[in-house]
Amino acid sequence: MRPLADLVGPGPTAPATVAGLDVAYAESGDRLAAAVTVLDARTLAVVDRAVGVGRPAFPYVPGLFAFRELPALLDALEKLTVRPELLVCDGHGLAHPRRFGLACHLGVVTGLPAIGVGKTPLVGEWDPPAARRGAWSPLRDGGEVIGRVLRTRDGVKPVFVSVGHRMSLDNACARVLALTPKYRLPETTRTADRLCREALAAAC
């Protein structure tokens, strides 16, 4: 599927809606809840939301993460009534050992523009970006630039941004900064995180 990913874009510069996706797991590991929240890209208000609950379809194996979370995320995506113009994934896109992380997989399967925003690295080397919000440094692996280490808050640990599908790296970083007016992680990720935890608790 890797050749099917559009790593150029540039994708929408002013999307009307942006979606956040996340998954929560039961402590026992036998249940999970996936959530998608769709935000108005200008006001960051949630305009649609959907969840999918079930059992993990695959064990957690670094590099094969999509096989674990993608099925439940697709379930949730199908329940949306609003078609988001961009998917902001909790995990990497191009910044993957075989250059096809969750964000690429989700983008190709849905056909929607997608980007990956990881909290910790999976592959690559980088220099720490300057302390100011907006500062960044290239994430490199095997002689190629696979993403960007982006500071979304002054003096706070940066996030790892990479292209998923139908988006340029420049635009991906601009979208992430637009989604982080107050906290380290995008508002899309934060609302989806709360929703999947809530859905998991409700699905007792």
Q: Using the rule CB under 7 A, which residue among 121, 129, 134, 138 binds DNA?
A: 121
Q: Is 181 in the site for DNA (CB under 7 A)?
A: no
The piece of 57-65, 124-132, 146-154, 173-181 that touches DNA (CB under 7 A) is 57-65
Figure out which of the listed residues 49, 96, 151, 175 binds DNA, where binding follows CB under 7 A. Answer: 96
| Contact with DNA (CB under 7 A) among 10, 12, 16, 25 | 25
Q: Which of helix, strand or coil describes residue 2?
A: helix
40 is in an annotated binding site: no
172 binds DNA (CB under 7 A): no
Alpha helices per DSSP H over the chain: 65-78, 102-110, 169-178, 187-202
The verdict on 52 binding DNA (CB under 7 A) reads: no
CB of 201 to DNA, least distance (A): 9
How far apart (Å, rounded) are the C-alpha atoms in residues 96 and 81? 31
Task: Pick out residues in 182-201 that bind DNA (CB under 7 A).
Answer: 197, 200
The pairing of strands 144-150 and 136-141 is antiparallel
Q: Which helix (H) or strand (E) holds 11?
A: none
Q: Contact, 19 vs 88, CB < 8 A?
A: yes
Residues 128-147 that bind DNA (CB under 7 A): none
Give the position of tokens 């200008």. Answer: 42
Distance CA 1, CA 131 (A): 37
Which of 18, 19, 36, 122 forms a contact with DNA (CB under 7 A)?
122
The yes or no reply on residue 118 touching DNA (CB under 7 A) is yes
* Among positions 120, 142, 143, 182, the unique one binding DNA when judged by CB under 7 A: 120
Interface with DNA, residue 102, by CB under 7 A: yes
Interaction between residue 20 and DNA (CB under 7 A): no
Q: How far is the CB of 133 from DNA (least distance, A)?
A: 14
Helix (H, G, I), strand (E, B) or coil at 84: coil
Is 75 annotated as contributing to ligand binding?
A: no
Angle, alpha carbons 148-150-153 (nearest 5°): 175
Reading the block at residue 204, the tokens are: 């007792």
Alpha carbon distances (Å) from 54 to 33, 68, 162, 166, 191: 7, 11, 28, 29, 20
Residues that bind DNA (CB under 7 A): 22-25, 27, 60, 62-66, 90-92, 96, 101-103, 116, 118-122, 197, 200
